[in-house]
Structure 1
């Protein structure tokens, strides 16, 4: 039997108070929290689950001082809720505040019940949610119907306020995050053990995912590539294109980014495994990435900003003449500020054959670092077309950074 952390009623009350404080500070009469559909993959936009501690994919509506109403997409979440009550699970929303109606009609119905047709209403879902949702995630058809039904209401984007209000984790949340990070490290160790010449990528992928599943982390995902040197980053090609997984050989580096999620809190584990002797450029890239990691730790202190943190890590690359294929660091729980990347792609001769190249700049650099914030440290360096990525999840502590799974903050050797 696994021993896992859970949330208390006190955590529920704290989060509902976060919603009410956000409403007060923004001058709102109501708050509508749109959650991304269930079974979403990376980076779920899930403020609904933040307030419900339940199945994702709903809309949660706070009206003045009333308890929140949860709007679900079908009877299936209600069936789950019934069974969870029978098991004695920790549920936050009572049955009378859950209804089928994850649509415009459902939102309008709740607001009208509270006579908020002409009120000021905050909305989570109208702001961009980087890095995966550069545009707002709210469906156009749903929201245009709400606007048409409530022409007298004033709707206000409050995504940034929500981020600032929730990005510092409570002690209960940090316990859940530590559990997730431990599972992420178990994934890395299992992958290291599975890696050898002649083993294909799917076997390594399976070893890592199995380690997470065995710990009750039911929604892990992984980016994975292998080869003697590459600048690719993303899911393995066989995950989306019908082809065989690549077979690992001597001189390869196997690199992965494991997204481990437990209780809707995410940690990330950056894996780089050397298979035998590597090309000198890969060894140099690993040294540079580690130096960037250490520079990030030095900057991850209260009093600095996210811009200071990202700048310190990017500065190591600039001094070494290297570049990064993906962010060096970004926030977790929730996603938000993200370090810039892709500036060096123009050095790659093949890239000149493509159309417009867009380099993502650092976003959210003004965020002040504060205790309880969680970050994915993922320093990566490209040297002559060969990249190495390493890192782990880091928490901002009162007295300095806290590395949750530092096993992968180095080049591992099979």
Structure 2
């Protein structure tokens, strides 16, 4: 795939939201200032299939995910939808008196329609920012536009200057309004409610599938989009990820006395994503598990203290490592992640080769990484997941919660998930 012309990380000053607040005007104003600062005549926006990670089109127009757009600096935007059902749903919303943010919806092949629309809007010789062809997150380090699509569009826009702005525009999206932060609070609360529901159900003999279903159902009853949970059980468990019975045909596990439940929960409200990491035990935790929980909580508190405007993402990661380093512990998952969009995550799997028997021998090429995927300055309105994971050998505990940078510090959104919980059995 030809590499678009890179830009240095920059951006204009993002204004405070007008009063009374118009979310659409706020987002569009940020985008217009971004285009001015980068001398762009317009944007070509490629939809992503995971809006919790990055979907600029959904951010700008609050419509269906995974649609594509042409947005001129001066003029009306156009959506290229995958099917007529997108337009039908849009029209029905209008008939019901609901707010919509885009008028021109067309259906067809993106490689053909996007260049045609760009020419129609007199952008064929312009400087166009491309969103989706460069770094978008640790999951999309090279973007999400396929080579055949990119080649077809490039051929149809031979006189345009195509500039990758994926990463830089992600930093614009990351500065959320007070309205968005209220929605994030709703999502974070749904995560805490899911934990409480799972704890109420957890007893020896309860199947993992029952707990998982209860957590998901609780969030859905609160109006969340729920894609999945990372979910593990067992005190002697150094793994992480979704339960393997979702991946391959195998039996789920039943809880035992003095057991442990671990999860990372992703309630998504108004396409604003949260990561709520948590663990709880059935009965009082063993001494080593309790010690891990204390270290994880210390790491969480270090993160809360470090999230400040002007600090960098990497500085928060480093601060959260200190309690683990001082305690001789390791962690499998990142301690810190940016949200909305998920632009970066901290180091992970630090120490697994030394602390888990035979791991290094069995998987000689499975290494962790120490540094963040992408470092940037924290600014007010940015949202993050603090998700400290403290492990001693095969014991461990995970706590966490969603936070946002404010003008003066850090706002916490979760209460239940920020400490190791116990269930009386």
What range describes the TM-score normalised by the shorter chain of this pair? over 0.9
Residues 122-153 of structure 1, C-alpha deviations (whole Å, 9 max, x = no match): 11101223232233211222111111222222
> Counterpart in 2 of 1:120?
127
> Counterpart in 2 of 1:411?
420
> Counterpart in 1 of 2:357?
349
Q: Could you tell which deviates more after superposition, 199-208 or 346-355?
A: 346-355
Shift of 1:117: 2.1
Shift of 1:220: 4.3
Shift of 1:403: 1.0
> Counterpart in 1 of 2:172?
165
Work out whether 1:26 is the aligned partner of 2:34.
Answer: no
CA contact (8 A) 1:337 1:365 kept: yes
Superposition CA RMSD, Å: 1.7
Matches within 5 A, 1:188-199: 188-199=195-206
* Count of residue correspondences: 402
Aligned CA distance change for structure 1 residues 240 and 304 (closer, same or farther; 3 Å): same
> Counterpart in 1 of 2:98?
89
Q: Could you tell which deviates more after superposition, 341-350 or 307-316?
A: 341-350
- Aligned counterparts of 1:64 and 1:218: Cα–Cα separation in 2: 32
Q: Secondary structure at the match of 2:226?
A: coil
Q: Secondary structure at the match of 2:22?
A: helix
Work out whether 1:143 is the aligned partner of 2:150.
Answer: yes
Shift of 1:399: 2.9
CA contact (8 A) 1:270 1:392 kept: yes
Shift of 1:386: 2.1
Aligned CA distance change for structure 1 residues 116 and 398 (closer, same or farther; 3 Å): closer
Q: Structure 1 length as normaliser, TM-score?
A: 0.93
Q: Secondary structure at the match of 1:228?
A: coil
CA contact (8 A) 1:101 1:107 kept: no
* Runs of 4 or more consecutive aligned structure 1 residues displaced over 3 Å after TM superposition: none
CA contact (8 A) 1:188 1:269 kept: no
> Counterpart in 1 of 2:303?
296
Work out whether 1:202 is the aligned partner of 2:209.
Answer: yes
Residues 33-83 of structure 1, C-alpha deviations (whole Å, 9 max, x = no match): 11113xx4x834211101111111101211231121111001111111121
Work out whether 1:259 is the aligned partner of 2:271.
Answer: no
CA contact (8 A) 1:259 1:267 kept: yes
Q: Could you tell which deviates more after superposition, 236-245 or 12-21?
A: 12-21
> Counterpart in 2 of 1:4?
none
Matches within 5 A, 1:321-340: 321-340=328-347
Shift of 1:110: 0.8
CA contact (8 A) 1:74 1:101 kept: yes
Which of 348, 356, 381 aligns to 2:390? It is 381
Alignment gaps of 5+ in structure 2? 1-19
Shift of 1:115: 2.5
Aligned CA distance change for structure 1 residues 125 and 198 (closer, same or farther; 3 Å): same
Q: Structure 2 length as normaliser, TM-score?
A: 0.91
Q: Secondary structure at the match of 2:240?
A: coil
Work out whether 1:60 is the aligned partner of 2:60.
Answer: no
- Aligned counterparts of 2:284 and 2:414: Cα–Cα separation in 1: 26
Shift of 1:408: 0.7
